[in-house]
Amino acid sequence: MRPFTYEVPSSIQEATSRGGADAAFIAGGTTIVDLMKLEVMNPSRLVDVNPLPMLGIQMREDGLRIGALEKMSDVAEHPEVVANYPVISEALLQSASAQIRNMASIGGNLLQRTRCGYFRDVFTPCNKREPGTGCSAIDGENRMHAILGTSSSCIATHPSDLAVALVALDASIYIQNGAEERVMNLDDFYLVPGETPDHENQLRPGELITAVRVPRLLWARRSTYLKIRDRESYEFALTSAALALDLNGDTIRDVRIAVGGVGTKPWNLPEVRQALAGKPLKPETFAAAAKLAVNGANPLRHNGFKVDLVQRTIVRALMNLGGLA
Amino acid sequence: MEQATDSGPDCEGGSSRRQFIRSLAAISAGLTVAAPLGRAAIPEESIPQTAPPNSGSGLGLVRINLKVNGNTRRLFIDPRVTLLDALRDRLELTGTKKGCDRGTCGACTVHLDGRRVLSCLTLAVMAKEREVTTIEGLAKGDELHPVQAAFIECDGFQCGYCTPGQIMSAVACINEGHSGSEREIREFMSGNLCRCGAYPNIVDAIKIAAAKMKGEVS
């Protein structure tokens, strides 16, 4: 690990003024300490945001507000979250381990870096870590990599389960910069790699995520997160689906759906949503709609199985939630 | 500074082995240019009076109080030092084990303010003024914690390297209310790997300890 200065700001405003290209914020540390040990991230200043007032989980008129410093474990088991947004709770409980969920913050979870082995290995070329050096994964080991939103520069998968659930629910984040606050839709916040895979989101240097807002959606009480992985627990997704289902008898009134493990960002599926709305609750409907999820998929040597697997994941999630399984 | 005490199977012959390793380390330290990072922590007694303030400005060392197993320990450390390295290399509490050092194996699990965390991904400077509990702080004198006793009873280990982390994690797992079924125990213990594969016995131990801790079994 390279040397750094450890700084403790006394206000959010001071934190953002201390931020910058040479600095990194630290909350739970589960990503940044790991990547600093690997020398993948080498901030010369580490700004500890833990003392800042960014806590609280509240159900309000306009929806759920989660402070960025809330721990994954606390959000996962919060009664309002469990009751109103099971998909969030399930996505969190299927993430990482109990220890890591006790450490990792919600804001940090949304900013966690890819698990691409080449990104994490400073001795191999990687456009995300070192722009212009090339992508080792495209012709390398790419079983865990993305099939959607990829480019000739980068095929790294976005690793967050929580982000998939939040994108499905049309969540937004609050971003603070000095005295200014802006609100941004989470789906818009994340960027596909294109030619600049080092730019993963719209956060500017020094900016801090202070909270997450999930719109009120009464029928999100019928929602779930299905995660398919190599091990039953403590493993990143091969594929996953975040799903909320609004039923009117045997007819699908509306759906919210996004998938994980397959995209360079959490992959929202408005086409699948449109294809399901107003249709009968039947396996044939599900399969036809799920096909739309892989429009434009670009499978490579080792990850072609994800094209089928993600469709089956969507179908199974619909079967489970629709009571047909 | 109090003596570090070791628990369980480590006790037999452990101290002479440690002394041997330490003397080796002392010899090799004389041959290397720079001390390893964990050793960058220096004794409080040798701190110059011009030490930087608590907030840790500059690239220098940071003064912190670490509350470990009820004792407050003053340290003067490089902010890069993890809680794991501070415990093992500075405070000589070697019960907490370093497995992967990358947050994937759970061997370094300790409690921070009563919650299980990974000490390898926690910077020591961020644990200041918080309550750290390690495997050395679990027993009450000579009386083992019910989880420690259950691990012995059920043979919940082979080589024993992952055991301190397993036990710290298991205590938290029970306290969190996640020991209701075998399936739940396995799910909430998945962050602790055991390469000997003692998992069935570990699950048994947790079931027995959970029942004891709830007072269902005397």
pLDDT in tens, A123-157: 999 999 999 999 999 999 999 999 999 999 999 99
Domain count, chain A: 2
Residues A90 and A21 in one domain: no
Query: Quick one: how far is CA B120 from the chain centroid?
Result: 10
- Which residue did the predictor score with more confidence, B16 or A290? A290
Residue B22, pLDDT > 90, answer no
Binary contact (B191, A8; C-beta < 8 A): no
In a mutagenesis test of the A interface, which of B116, B174, B186, B192 is the best target, namely the one with the most A β-carbons within 10 Å?
A: B116
Residue B97, pLDDT > 50, answer yes
Q: Are A276 and A289 in contact (CB under 8 A)?
A: yes
Residues A9 and A154 in one domain: no
Binary contact (A6, B79; C-beta < 8 A): yes
Report the gap between the CA of B126 and the closest CA in chain A (Å): 8
Query: Band of the pLDDT at B43, cuts 50, 70, 90?
Result: very low
Residues A28 and A80 in one domain: no
Contact residues, chain A, for B80 at CB < 8 Å: 1, 3-4
Residues A42 and A58 in one domain: no
Q: Counting one residue from A and one from B, how many pairs have CB atoms under 8 Å apart? A: 88
Q: Worst-scoring range by mean pLDDT, A205-219, B32-46, B75-89? A: B32-46
Q: Are A26 and A60 in contact (CB under 8 A)?
A: no
Contact residues, chain B, for A73 at CB < 8 Å: 115
Residues A93 and A26 in one domain: no
Q: What is the pLDDT of residue B47?
A: 40
Q: What is the pLDDT of residue B59?
A: 59
Which residue from A minimizes the CA distance to B37? A1
pLDDT digits over A77-103, tens only? 999 999 999 999 999 999 999 999 999
In a mutagenesis test of the A interface, which of B121, B125, B169, B173 is the best target, namely the one with the most A β-carbons within 10 Å?
A: B121
Residues A16 and A63 in one domain: no
Report ipTM (2 d.p.): 0.97
Binary contact (A99, B186; C-beta < 8 A): no
What's A43's domain CATH number? 3.30.43.10
Report the gap between the CA of A202 and the closest CA in chain B (Å): 27
Query: Quick one: how far is CA A192 from the chain centroid?
Result: 13
**What's the CA gap between A211 and A231, in Å, rounded?**
32
Largest CA distance in chain A: 61
Residues A33 and A98 in one domain: no
Contact residues, chain A, for B176 at CB < 8 Å: 98
Show the tokens assigned to A133.
């050096």
Residues A29 and A69 in one domain: no
Binary contact (B115, A102; C-beta < 8 A): yes
Q: What is the pLDDT along chain A (325 residues), one digit of tens a residue?
A: 999 999 999 999 999 999 999 999 999 999 999 999 999 999 999 999 999 999 999 999 999 999 999 999 999 999 999 999 999 999 999 999 999 999 999 999 999 999 999 999 999 999 999 999 999 999 999 999 999 999 999 999 999 999 999 999 999 999 999 999 999 999 999 999 999 999 999 999 999 999 999 999 999 999 999 999 999 999 999 999 999 999 999 999 999 999 999 999 999 999 999 999 999 999 999 999 999 999 999 999 999 999 999 999 999 999 999 999 8
pLDDT digits over A257-284, tens only? 999 999 999 999 999 999 999 999 999 9
Give residue A22's domain range: 5-48
Contact residues, chain B, for A38 at CB < 8 Å: 102
Report the gap between the CA of A73 and the closest CA in chain B (Å): 11
Residues A171 and A284 in one domain: yes
Binary contact (A29, B123; C-beta < 8 A): yes
Cα–Cα distance list, A87 to A84, A135, A227, A308, B185 (Å): 9, 34, 11, 23, 22
Which residue from A minimizes the CA distance to B110? A99
Residues A159 and A39 in one domain: no
Q: What is the pLDDT of residue B216?
A: 61
Report the gap between the CA of B15 and the closest CA in chain A (Å): 31
Report the gap between the CA of B13 and the closest CA in chain A (Å): 32
Share of chain B above pLDDT 90, in %: 70
Label residue B37 left, alpha or beta by phi (over 0 means left) and psi (-120 to 50 means alpha). Answer: alpha
> Which of residues 47 through 86 in chain A touch B, CB cutoff 8 A?
48, 50, 73
Show the tokens assigned to A153.
């520069």
Residues A61 and A29 in one domain: no
Q: What is the pLDDT of residue B27?
A: 44
Contact residues, chain B, for A96 at CB < 8 Å: 191
Q: What is the pLDDT of residue B197?
A: 97
What's A289's domain CATH number? 3.30.390.50
Which residue from B minimizes the CA distance to A99? B117
Binary contact (B121, A48; C-beta < 8 A): no
Binary contact (B55, A8; C-beta < 8 A): yes
Residues A58 and A44 in one domain: no
Q: What is the pLDDT of residue A325?
A: 86
Catalogue all structural domains in chain B, each as residue range(s) with its CATH number: 35-101+123-131 (3.10.20), 146-213 (1.10.150.120)
